[in-house]
Amino acid sequence: MEFTSTKIGKIHLNHCLMNASGVKCKTEIDLSNIYKTKVRTGVVVSKSCTLEFRRGNEGTTYYHSKESEMSINSSGLPNLGYEFYMEMAKKLEQNARDRKFRYLYEVKKPFIMSVSGMSQADNIHILESVFDKHKSHSIDGVELNLSCPNIIGKPQIGYDFEAFDEILRKTFELDVPKSINMGLKLPPYFDISHYSQAFDIINKYPIDTLTCINSIGNGLVIDPINECSVISPKKGLGGIGGSPIKSVALANVFQFSKNTHCDVIGCGGIVSAMDVFEHILCGAKAVQLGTIVMLEGLDVFKKIERELLSIMRNKGYKKISDFCGKLKYVEPEFNKY
């Protein structure tokens, strides 16, 4: 639908909605389902991958509430290893060109690999391989995840500004192809000094896109009936997603769209078309859905796109750029007396 088409960095999207890495994008079946034409996503984002297969944290790692439209998770990056996701990108592109799959895949969707190595060396190894083979494997972009809050004993790189700068410096010392979209997935920032440090680092490098935000780390949800946490790892601490984090996400989208040279992808607290509208109004060029996909399944993309089109028509907007980043501010009212 041309009304919701958009462009993020170097990638054109037929639809402004995307899946958030981590939600229904781990296996071959998951990724094939997102790639289907009937699922109104503009791009396919893989599960954040590590160097090797990773089982993730043990026990109950995910909980959501339909009533409050919130979630908490501490999955610990379970994934099938980066080589699997590289091969999946290639396979999906081949399927899109195969006539026998034409009824499922009418158009090629761009493929973004989310990368979250367990060490800086792992990240560089994965990125180097992706950069070297991106054309042969039909990989259109990378989302370097600097913000996973659920690895036991591992801090988020996005909060360690020295490590943040170093991983970007080493990344761009590689031969980064001009055709590939280089993106980052950031943690939520709260203090103006942290925003400022992040802006300074990001603006030093030719980064194309920023995904704002990952879940808010180390939250706690309690089952008061049984008097215990609802998830197992880290004594019940995990990343909070869904409706409760929307205001934080909007603030980050607004700040990074205004203060960096990058296109921003909004993520966090999006459970309705109006949430999508607000993210775009704050400066997001596209948005990612996470918790709501777990709650309602992949059909939610079509539903939200349809409702977004209705909002746009009612407001007289014909395309995303008509209102992207056009947030107005309330003027202060001075006491006349």
To the query of whether residue 148 is one of the catalytic residues in this protein, the response is: yes
Give the amino acid at 306.
R
CA atoms in the 13 A half-sphere facing the CB of 142: 31
DSSP string, 103-128: TT-SSPPPEEEEE--SSHHHHHHHHH
**Rounded distance between C-alpha atoms, residue 263 and residue 290, angstroms:** 20
The encoded tokens of residue 7 equal: 């462009």
The encoded tokens of residue 274 equal: 């109006």
3-class DSSP assignment, residue 252: helix
Strand 141-145 to 181-186 pairing:
parallel
3-class DSSP assignment, residue 23: coil
Strand 70-73 to 237-242 pairing:
antiparallel
**Rounded distance between C-alpha atoms, residue 262 and residue 205, angstroms:** 10
**Rounded distance between C-alpha atoms, residue 124 and residue 80, angstroms:** 18
Strand (E) positions, the chain?
6-8, 11-13, 17-19, 44-45, 62-65, 70-73, 111-115, 141-145, 181-186, 209-212, 216-220, 222-223, 228-229, 237-242, 263-267, 284-289
Instruction: Check if the beta carbon of residue 23 is closer than 8 Å to that of residue 288.
Output: no
25, 49, 148, 262: the active-site residue: 148
Give me the residues paired with residue 60 across strands. Answer: none
Q: Which residues are identified as catalytic?
A: 148
